[in-house]
Every structure is written in structure tokens, then in C-alpha cells.
Structure 1
Amino acid sequence: MPELCKNCNTAIALHYCPNCGRPKAVPRVSGHYLLQEIQAVLSLEKGFLLTVRELAFNPGGSIKAFLTEDRNRLVKPIVFLILTSLIYTLLNRLLHFEDGYVNYSADQESSTLLIFQWVQNNYGYANIIMAVFIGFWIKVFFRKYQFNYFEILILLCFVMGMGMLIYAFFGLAQALTSVNLLHIGGMVGFAYTSYAVGHFFDKRKAGSYVKAFLAYIIGMITFSLAAIAVGMFIDAVM
């Protein structure tokens, strides 16, 4: 009697399920397997480095291709955002450069201060929340285009992930040179975000880049105001 696939219960005659493609037997984890996995992640043909390269040189085209043609070539957008945020956070913890991405200070402890401290300690999740606000304003500014809100969130996951890598690079350079470079990193990050979002919608129109910049700035302000309002409400009711 042929063995049944553990995924879909189809009879397997050879090495792979003819219905879902699942292998009949999963090989044991070995050193060779781990090297293959690392190579796949860092591959220039399909993986993290490919995603970074595509987003650096052709952000609009590569993200459009992900949405409409091939969703397997690039790293998944939410995974990419969380991974790049983790890289930034780890470098920040190891090298102790000044956090120039989201910063909030207060004379006394409050719920608002705790919220922003959580943001600084959890950029992977916080960036997704920020993208919700920024995505709303991008949808407002680019409402004539046929991309829905969720597709805009995918765009932002990729773009904000690249922004985290830019901040991480300038933070690393600052730690190594003792020269204050994070403010330059902030400007480069904003410039990249405006370029990438504008390039995605219409790379031929200068107005696209201006609207992208305004949407990002207003989105970040809206997020900050919402965080402050939540903190004030918590303090008021406690």
C-alpha cells in the first residue's frame, strides 16, 4: 500500500507528492543543510541581498513586480521590515549610538514616555504600526491611483525596511568614526523614502516625490500625536 502524503493524504508513489509537491521524507538537518539555508538568505538571485539590491536601484519597479508578477523572488515584506529593524536595534544596542529614528524625551516618567520607549525597543512591530498611519496619508495623496491600502502597506514595509538599513549604516559609521552622522542618515532616509514611494507611483513626475515626502512626514506626525494622546489618556484615567 503506498504511503499517504502527510499534508493532503494523496498516495505517494515516488519521492514527492503528485498533488502538493511535499517530499515523501524530510532529510535530517545537517551542516550542509544549514549552509544551504544561509546561502539562500544571502543569495543575490533570491534572498535578502537581492531584495536590498532591487530596492536600492529600482524600488518602484521591483515592488510593483512583487505585487503583480512574482511574490517569491524578494523576501516577504513584513519579514523584511522586522529583520531590518532587528539589525538596526542590535547595532544600536552593541554600539550605543544615539537613536535618531524615533526619539522622545520628558522630564518625568509618564505613559507617553513609556510608549515611546517601547517603540525604541521594538522597532520591528512599531514600524508596522507607523506604516498604518503613513499608509493612510499616502492613500490620500495618491488616491487617483488604483493601488489599495493593503498594497500600500506592502510598499511601506519594503521602503521602511530600507530606511532602517540606512539608519543602521550611518549609526555604524558614527560609532566607528566618532563623527555625528546620524542627522545625515536621517536626511538620507527621508530622501530615500520620498524617492522610493514617488518612484512606485509615477517616477516621471516630480510631484510624486513631493507628495511622498509630505505623506511620510504627516504620517509620522500623526503617529506621534496618536501615541501622545494614548499616553495622556492612560495617565488621565489611572
Structure 2
Amino acid sequence: MTTCKNCNAEVNFNYCPACGKPSNLKRIDRHYIMHEIEHVLHLERGILYSVRELLVSPGRSVRHFITEDRSRLVKPVIFIIITSLVYSLLNHFFHIEDEYVEFNENQKTTTGLLFNWVQGHYGYANIIMGIFIAFWAKVFFRKYHYNLFEILILLCFVMGMGMLFMAVFAVIEGVAHLNVMSIAGYLVVIYSSWAIGQFFDGKKAGNYMKAFASYILGMLSFLLLIVAAGSLIDAVIRH
């Protein structure tokens, strides 16, 4: 009999009966690392499975995840972090974004610095923009009684897929030297509008228009916030 190092309870088995911690930790080796990677990626119902489901029926898949079975898809926060990381790595490798996202100014301002951060960290900025899109989706689809956090889960999956679309087109442009990133931008807007509209009620055509409006207004709100915050900071500094 041993004593649990976590809660000091007496342990007769492989796991503590009080807190569930293992009585003996295994050494960290190759098998441990592989197990951790499989756990994070949730490979039995992992990234590839989730991407397939989100390509075929994104709205229905996310709705099913929220209301019925949360083991079908990768956890939403992990999904958007991984997809944003994939896009960011490919973007920096091929230097694609420098050609399409550019903010020039004669005099350095805080607004310019903020836009430069967005340019250099588009994957993370996209996550923040998802919050604004979720707010507008809540406004347009308030009769469906989904709370803001449930809509944020939807946006994690939608924005994550958007990052994958951008990543695929970044590879195409970087390898084939074809100017296709602008096409990726349109595709992301179309996909996002389709996914959001399908989530609430795909049988109503008007929902896709509301979804499109939510996406555009969310993006504009994010950009306006950057301009307002930058202008306010510059005004405070000048005085």
C-alpha cells in the first residue's frame, strides 16, 4: 500500500480511489510522446475526420456536437489553434500574405502598428474576429436561443476551416506561383456563410443572407475597433 502524492489517500491499485491520479508515473519516453500527440489530435475521431465532416455538412455537424455528441469532432479550441498554426507556418514559409495584406502610412501611428500586427499574425487575429462575427450572429439569429458561447463554438470550427482553406491556397501559390489567394478569401466568406446558415436552419434561404451579413459586419467591426483603439491611444499620447 502506498500514499497518493496528490491527496495523501491510501492507494492499493494503479489509480488513487480518491482523486484518480496514477499511483506510479511512467517514465517519459517515445511511447509517452506518441500517446500525448494522439490524445491532443484525438486521432480516433481527429483532425481528418473533423475536416471531412465540416466540409460535407458543417452546420449540422456542429449543431450535433453542441446538442447531442461532443466526442464526434475535435475539441473546438484545439481545432482552431491547430489550423491557425498550420496556416501561420505555411504563410511564413511561403511569404504569401506580404503580397496581399499591406498597410502603408507616411507617419507611424498606433493604428498602423495594430494593422501590422494583424498582418503578421492573421491566424490569431482571425480568432479575435470570430468573436465579433459571433456577436452579430447572435443578433441576427436571436430567435434560435443559442447563447453566445455556443455560437463561439460554431465560429471556432468555421474560422478553423477558413484557415485550412487559406493554407491550401498558400501552398498552391507558393509551389505553382499562381495568384490564387484572393480566390481563397472569397471561398472563406462563401463557406462561412453557408456553414453558419446551415447551423441555424439550412432550409431557410434567408438564413444564409443573415450569415453573410454576420460575417461581413463582424469583420468590419473588428477593423473599426482597431482604428478606434489606435486613434484613441494616439490622441492620449499627443496630450
TM-score by length of 2: 0.89
Indicate if the aligned counterparts of 2:41 and 2:74 stay in contact, CA closer than 8 A.
no
Residue identity opposite 2:159 in structure 1? M
Q: Distance in 1 between matches of 2:21 and 2:212?
A: 46
Indicate if the aligned counterparts of 2:63 and 2:199 stay in contact, CA closer than 8 A.
yes
Moved more, 81-90 or 215-224: 81-90
Residue identity opposite 2:147 in structure 1? N
2:195 equivalent to 1:172: no
1:98-146 per-residue CA deviation (whole Å, 9 max, x = no partner) reads 3588653334321111101112333454233212211111011101111
Indicate if the aligned counterparts of 2:42 and 2:74 stay in contact, CA closer than 8 A.
no
Q: Distance in 1 between matches of 2:187 and 2:41?
A: 25
**What's the CA shift for 1:94?**
0.8
Q: CA distance change for structure 1 residues 57 and 7 in 2, over 3 Å: closer, same or farther? A: farther
1:229 aligned partner: 228
**What's the CA shift for 1:9?**
4.5
Residue identity opposite 1:187 in structure 2? Y
Moved more, 187-196 or 127-136: 127-136
Moved more, 42-51 or 195-204: 42-51
Indicate if the aligned counterparts of 1:101 and 1:186 stay in contact, CA closer than 8 A.
no
Moved more, 6-15 or 206-215: 6-15
1:20-67 per-residue CA deviation (whole Å, 9 max, x = no partner) reads 433222211111222333344556522222222222222122222322
Q: Distance in 1 between matches of 2:108 and 2:75?
A: 38
2:192 aligned partner: 193
Q: Distance in 1 between matches of 2:55 and 2:155?
A: 14
**What's the CA shift for 1:236?**
1.6
1:156 aligned partner: 155
Aligned-CA RMSD value: 2.2
SS of residue in 1 equivalent to 2:143? coil
2:94 equivalent to 1:95: yes
Indicate if the aligned counterparts of 1:43 and 1:50 stay in contact, CA closer than 8 A.
no
Residue identity opposite 1:139 in structure 2? K
2:48 equivalent to 1:49: yes
Indicate if the aligned counterparts of 2:87 and 2:123 stay in contact, CA closer than 8 A.
no
Q: CA distance change for structure 1 residues 100 and 154 in 2, over 3 Å: closer, same or farther? A: farther
1:39-78 pair list within 5 angstroms: 39-41=38-40, 44-78=43-77
**What's the CA shift for 1:172?**
1.0
**What's the CA shift for 1:187?**
1.1
- Residues matched between the structures, number: 237
1:186-231 per-residue CA deviation (whole Å, 9 max, x = no partner) reads 1111111011111111111111111111110011011101111111
Q: Larger % of helix: which?
A: 2
**What's the CA shift for 1:234?**
1.4
1:114 aligned partner: 113
Residue identity opposite 1:22 in structure 2? K
**What's the CA shift for 1:97?**
1.1
Q: CA distance change for structure 1 residues 214 and 177 in 2, over 3 Å: closer, same or farther? A: same
Q: Distance in 1 between matches of 2:232 and 2:72?
A: 44
Q: Distance in 2 between matches of 1:23 and 1:100?
A: 52
Q: Distance in 2 between matches of 1:100 and 1:164?
A: 17
1:202 aligned partner: 201
Q: CA distance change for structure 1 residues 207 and 6 in 2, over 3 Å: closer, same or farther? A: farther
TM-score by length of 1: 0.89
Question: Equivalent pairs: percent with the same residue?
Answer: 54
